[in-house]
Amino acid sequence: MLDVIEKAKGRSVTIQSPGTVANLVCGFDILGLALNDPCDVMTVKLIDRPEVIIHNVDDYNLPTDPQKNVAGVPLLDMIERLGNQVGFDVTIEKRIKPGSGLGSSAASAAGGVVAANHLLGNIFSQNDLVQMAMLGERLASGVKHADNIAPCITGGVTLIRSILPLDITGISSPPLYVTIVHPQIEVRTEDARQILRKQILLKDAIKQWGNIAGLVAGLMKGDYELIGRSLEDVLIEPVRSILIPAFAEVKAKSLEAGALGGGISGSGPSIFMLSKDEVTALAVESAMKEVYTQTGIAYYTYVTTINKEGVKIIG
């Protein structure tokens, strides 16, 4: 171990860390996917002292105190696991707006540990990295969850069957386009969690697990019709969508434009829709723009595809 650390000291790596859509409609807390756009960029350098130094090169004014930055806490945990013999200097260029529901916090938490692990010759397993990165999610939202972290690290669509013990598996998927509207308002994950009902009816649970199984089967079989029918959330969306202006109109118009289905991205305020092809995804974008222009709320849209690589080394 000492050898690995000695060799890596002073070296740096630059990575691209993807945005993610978590809480994939019926898959609250258990299904997520990685996006090709937007992505954060981070540079991590190994230093002698057992500390994390954070530089932000964007306009988001995020904390530079590593205990308060979601990139810092997982790296502090890694330093401890390494016996306090090394530290990290981290530069974050955030392109995924914090609080967007597009996995901004996961991109920093996962990006940091993947970059650091790369410098150390990949001594930690993927499960170790997810465990460390989840500490960042706990800082951001008060709860450890992996449905942004796992797809961010591995790419693709990911099922988190359990976080205790950690049990993550990739789900294959046919080509899918993702259209997103991000209203420029903030919905804090912590707040969006607090309004959830703690108890549910058995009949609703049955509907939900039918949809989850249908969605997973549809993705694996490349059955777009089954994917579309299964993109229904009877538990979370009815409660959370009240936090998102014009949610019902965006959804209705997107379905009219040909989307397979979709819902709240993460805990919002972004709304995402899946489509079979680019022409439909662009028509969905136009529909979303039309609805949001009428609300008078500033917004941003993305038309992208599923990122299959996860965090990527770019330099």
Least distance to ligand ADP, CB of residue 135, Å: 12
190 belongs to the catalytic site: no
Closest-CA residue to 38 (of 258, 315, 302, 306) = 302
Out of 20, 43, 189, 304, the active site residue is 189
Any alpha helices (H) in the chain, and if so which ranges? 2-8, 72-81, 104-119, 126-141, 149-154, 189-194, 202-221, 224-230, 237-240, 247-256, 278-295
Paired tokens of 218: 């549809």
Rounded to a whole number of angstroms, the distance between the first and last alpha carbons of the chain is 24
Out of 137, 158, 179, 304, the active site residue is 137
Return d(Cα 221, Cα 219) in angstroms, integer: 6
Binding mask 227-246 for ligand ADP (x = CB under 6 A): --------------------
Our CB check for ligand ADP shows the closer of 22 and 176 to be: 22
Restricting to residues 161-190, name those near ligand ADP by CB under 6 A. Answer: 188-189
185: exposed, middle or buried (Cβ count in 10 Å: 0-12, 13-18, 19+): middle
Of 104, 158, 208, 275, the residue at the interface with ligand ADP (CB under 6 A) is 104
> Which region among 76-84, 98-106, 169-177, 284-292 touches ligand ADP (by CB under 6 A)?
98-106
Instruction: Tell me: does residue 154 bind ligand ADP (CB under 6 A).
Output: no
Our CB check for ligand ADP shows the closer of 230 and 304 to be: 304
Our CB check for ligand ADP shows the closer of 53 and 220 to be: 53
293 belongs to the catalytic site: no
Least distance to ligand ADP, CB of residue 22, Å: 8
Our CB check for ligand ADP shows the closer of 224 and 302 to be: 302
Burial state string for 39-55 with b = 16 or more CB within 10 A and e = fewer than 16: bbbbbbbbbeeebbebe
Q: Cα–Cα–Cα angle for 217, 219, 222, nearest 5°?
A: 100
Least distance to ligand ADP, CB of residue 192, Å: 8
Binding mask 114-143 for ligand ADP (x = CB under 6 A): --------------------------xx--
Residue 202's identity, in one-letter code, is L
Our CB check for ligand ADP shows the closer of 156 and 266 to be: 266
Quickly count: other Cβ atoms within 10 Å of residue 221's Cβ.
12
Least distance to ligand ADP, CB of residue 222, Å: 29
Least distance to ligand ADP, CB of residue 213, Å: 26
Q: Cα–Cα–Cα angle for 76, 78, 83, nearest 5°?
A: 95
Least distance to ligand ADP, CB of residue 104, Å: 3
Instruction: Tell me: does residue 69 bind ligand ADP (CB under 6 A).
Output: yes
Our CB check for ligand ADP shows the closer of 244 and 283 to be: 244
Residue 173's identity, in one-letter code, is S
Determine contact, residues 23/29, Cβ cutoff 8 Å: yes
Closest-CA residue to 310 (of 45, 108, 16, 96) = 16
* Residues labelled catalytic: 137, 189
> Where do contacts with ligand ADP occur on this chain (CB under 6 A)?
62-63, 69-71, 92, 94, 98-106, 108, 140-141, 188-189, 266
